[in-house]
Structure formats: C-alpha cells, structure tokens
Amino acid sequence: MRTEGYEFAAPDSWDRFADVVALAYGGYDAAPAYRTVVAEVFEPKRSLLAHRDGRTCATLALYSLDMGVPGGRRPIAGIGYVSVDPTHRRRGLMRGLILRTLAGLYERGEEPVAALHTTEPGIYGRFGFGGATRAVHLEIPRHAREMTPSHAEPPLPVRVADPADCVAHIARIHEGAPERRPGTFHRDDAWTRRALTDLPERRGGAGRLLCMLAEDPGEGGLPRGYALYALTARWVDSYPRYDVHVRELFAEDSLAYASLWRALLDIDLAGTVIADRPVDDPILALLADPRSAVPVVRDQLYTRLVDLERALPQRAYAAEIDVVIDVADADCPWNQGRWRLHTGADGAACARTGAAADLSLSARELGAVYLGGTSLAQLAAAGRVIEHRAGAVRAATRAFHHDPAPFCPTVF
C-alpha cells in the first residue's frame, strides 16, 4: 500500500492543520482573523490528519451538519479541507483520509450521509459521491433590470444596514431555510459568524459587505428577508457600472423575496448584478429577460450514502415506491447488494432482500439523487442506472424528486 509509513490521527491543533491547508491551496496564508473564524467551526476530534516522520502531510475536516433533506433536517457529515502537501501527492493519502472517514462514520453509527464541495468535479465520484445540487450563475446586466409584474401588493420597504447590526434577523430568517430547501443547513452562532465574515484582505477589490432587509410594513413587524451583498466599483466611459455581488439572499415569503431583488436591481450605480442561485430560483421567473443574465449551471454539493440502510428511510419521498435496487459499492461494502425500498403511510423502509433487482446502480448515483435534485431518469438515460423492470426508473425518478431543487450556498 502506497500509504505505508504514514499515520492517520485526529489533529491536536487547528494551526498545524491550517498550515497544511494553506500550502496545499497555493501558499496563501489565511489572515489571522479568518483563521479564527474558521477555527470556530472546526471540530478537531472528528477531523483527520496524515503524518510521516513527525510532519503533517494531509488534512480532512469533518463537520456535524444539520442539513435539510426531503422531509426535514437530518444529521449530515460535512467534509471539507481535503488537502495533501504537494510533495506527498498521488500516493493515496486523499483516498486514505476519505475511506477512513467513511468507515469510521459507519462503524460508530454516526451520520449515514456525507457531503462535500469540491474544487474539481472529477475528484470524488470514484469514492461514491454524486453531484446532488446545482447552482445557476447569473450576471444580470443593467439593460435587463425589468421584472415581470408579480404581486398585487406593493413591494416591502427595504433598508440597508451593517450586517453586524442584523445578526439576529439574519440567523432567524436563515433558520427556516433548511426546511424550505434541501441542501441548506442550520447555522449556529459560529457558522453565522463565518457566513458574515468580511475581512478587507478577502474582498478582492469589493467594498464592505452590506445587508439589505425587507421590512414588514406592520408595526413591530420583523424583517422577512435579507440579502448580503457587496459592490465593486467599475466605470465605463465615465459612467458608473458597478458590479453588485449577491453573497446570499433568503426570504420567508415571495413578496419579501421580490422586494429584495427589486431593490438590488435598482441600485443606482449598478452595472451588473451577480449571483449564484438555485436552478429553480424565482428570479428566473421574475426577470422579464432572463436570457440577458446568461444563466450558467454548474455542479455544487456532492453527497454520499455512508450507511444506505439508515440513509434511505430518513428522507421523505414525493411518491409511493416499492423498488428493489442492486447497489455496487466497493468502498463501503456494507452497502453492496440488493435492497428493497418501499414507502407507506408510516414513512419509508429499507431492508436487504433476495428478490430480483428492478434497478442497478452504484453508490455514486444514489448519492446524486439523495437530495432530490438530480433526475434518476437522466442518469438512466446516460446508462448509469440500469432498469430491469419496465417502469421502475419512472417510478423511482418521481419518488426521489424534490421540489424546490436542493441548493447549498454555504461552502464548507
């Protein structure tokens, strides 16, 4: 085995961990203030390092997330900061970190599902992670600010504030997000601080982070939505054409949502409003000319069923289903084999079966469809899911689908 001579252990210090991460990601040393914010969400006892001859060579951070899946919030193991010292690459250290983590989660009966964001989409499919959420990148030009008429009521009043003064509102509004949309996860105080981090050295030329609040017009009413955004100054032919970068936008109802977008698109200096949004985001239905925003869809969160027997019943299904799936999973052999998934009045159940398979697929496809945003029929059309009983793909596609589409705007 190529990882002979390496030892795997939980980190004792965030700093040593962070040093390897900084080196692996190009030698950018994180500002001390940023390290502090990231350290607050770091869970050393759950994370992993690889050492050799007293030197730390590779890292993996594991986070205990409470994430929306179809049916409500569930524990999901978030994996982040997978990094290997450039002089120790392609010896199997990443493989060692990932497989040890998956086996540990299973053996200890912890989260039955793992999720990660990846720097490159080609890395994690081999370990059974499937692309589960997508984001659509929008660049809305000044000439396409017009919105299709929507609400009978006038827009809500919107005010701009310092995010530091709205932390409680932001946390409260975000709190409802995982129930509304799978892929978003509960953010405690430390995760909220991380989401609001705004260090000058990390702004990339933009101004400071601002917060827009859509206010409830009733007396004493609490804000019903917020947008976090920053402007980058840009002048074209002596005209202001600033970029407005929308970092995140959450609203409790559609009027608050539309009011925030109206206000963002109306910023006087704005040239282009830039945002990454869910693929079914209402802004695509609100813009009179969505084509001008040149929507570009890209992969986002990848999920992996660690313990299939517990993972499949812990989510809800959009339609009744009774299907036998034959799963190939060499890295997590306990998932391998034929499973009967059926739903009824008391929810879903999943158990081993000797019955003939209706569908064959690998862990990667199951991971991809788990949050309800990837179509099983699409994977079948690509030859990645094999149908043995006519109609099984169609039935399973309907059952696994979730509306609205999952989305994970918080990178971990």
CB contact set of 285 (below 8 Å; sequence gap of 6+)? 148
Binding region for ligand COA (CB under 6 A) out of 29-37, 78-86, 143-151, 285-293: 78-86
As a whole number of angstroms, the distance between CA 41 and CA 132 comes to 23
In the list 31, 39, 99, 123, the residue contacting ligand COA (rule: CB under 6 A) is 123
CA 233 – CA 9 distance, rounded (Å) = 47
Tell me whether residue 174 or residue 364 sits nearer to ligand COA (CB atom). 364
Q: How many whole angstroms separate alpha carbon 257 and alpha carbon 270?
A: 19
Nearest C-alpha neighbor of 392 from the set 325, 337, 346, 332:
325
Is 124 one of the annotated active-site residues of the chain?
yes
Q: How far is the CB of 117 from ligand COA (least distance, A)?
A: 7
Single out the residue of 35, 51, 89, 193 in contact with ligand COA (rule: CB under 6 A): 89
What three-state secondary structure class fits 6? coil
Shortest CB 222 distance to ligand COA, Å: 37
Binding mask 359-388 for ligand COA (x = CB under 6 A): ------------------------------
Pick from 27, 32, 54, 122 the residue near ligand COA by CB under 6 A: 122
CA dist 144 and 272 (Å) reads 9
Q: How far is the CB of 332 from ligand COA (least distance, A)?
A: 15
Q: In residues, how long is the chain?
A: 412
Tell me which of 30, 41, 69, 94 binds ligand COA, using CB under 6 A.
Answer: 94
Burial class from Cβ neighbours inside 10 Å (0-12, 13-18, 19+) for residue 370 reads buried
* Residues in a beta bridge with 210: 229
For position 4 contacting ligand COA by CB under 6 A, the verdict is no
Residue 90 binds ligand COA, judged by CB under 6 A: yes
412 an active-site residue?
Answer: yes
Distance between CA 410 and CA 185 in Å, rounded? 8
Scanning 62-70, 120-128, 221-229, 230-238 for contacts with ligand COA by CB under 6 A, the matching segment is 120-128
51 or 95: CB nearest ligand COA: 95
- Cβ neighbours for 329, distance < 8 A, ≥ 6 positions apart: 128, 308, 335, 336, 362, 363
Q: Strands, DSSP E only, in 142-216?
A: 158-161, 210-214
Q: Which of 35, 51, 52, 95 binds ligand COA (CB under 6 A)?
A: 95
Residue 273 CB, shortest distance to ligand COA, in Å, is 29
Angle, alpha carbons 105-107-110 (nearest 5°) = 40
Alpha carbons within 13 angstroms on the beta-carbon side of residue 19 total 8
How many of the chain's residues bind ligand COA (CB under 6 A)?
18
Q: How far is CA 284 from CA 153, 184, 193, 278, in A?
A: 20, 20, 30, 10
Which of 42, 81, 124, 226 is labelled catalytic?
Answer: 124
Of the candidate residues 10, 15, 25, 298, the single one contacting ligand COA (CB under 6 A): 25
**Taking CB under 6 A as the rule, does residue 57 contact ligand COA?**
no
Q: Which stretch binds ligand COA (CB under 6 A): 34-42, 88-96, 274-282, 318-326?
A: 88-96
Question: CB-based burial of residue 39 (10 Å sphere; 0-12 exposed, 13-18 middle, 19+ buried)?
Answer: middle
Please report how close the Cβ of residue 103 comes to ligand COA at its closest, in angstroms: 15
- Whether the CB-CB separation of 332 and 106 falls below 8 Å is answered with yes
Q: Which residue, 123 or 328, is less far from ligand COA as judged by CB?
A: 123
Given candidates 41, 48, 69, 82, which one binds ligand COA under the rule CB under 6 A?
A: 82
Asked if residue 115 binds ligand COA (CB under 6 A), the reply is: no
| 83 lines the binding site for ligand COA (CB under 6 A) | yes
Nearer to ligand COA, 50 or 327 (CB): 50
Question: Which residues contact ligand COA by CB under 6 A?
Answer: 24-25, 82-84, 89-95, 118-120, 122-123, 126
Annotated catalytic residues are 124, 412
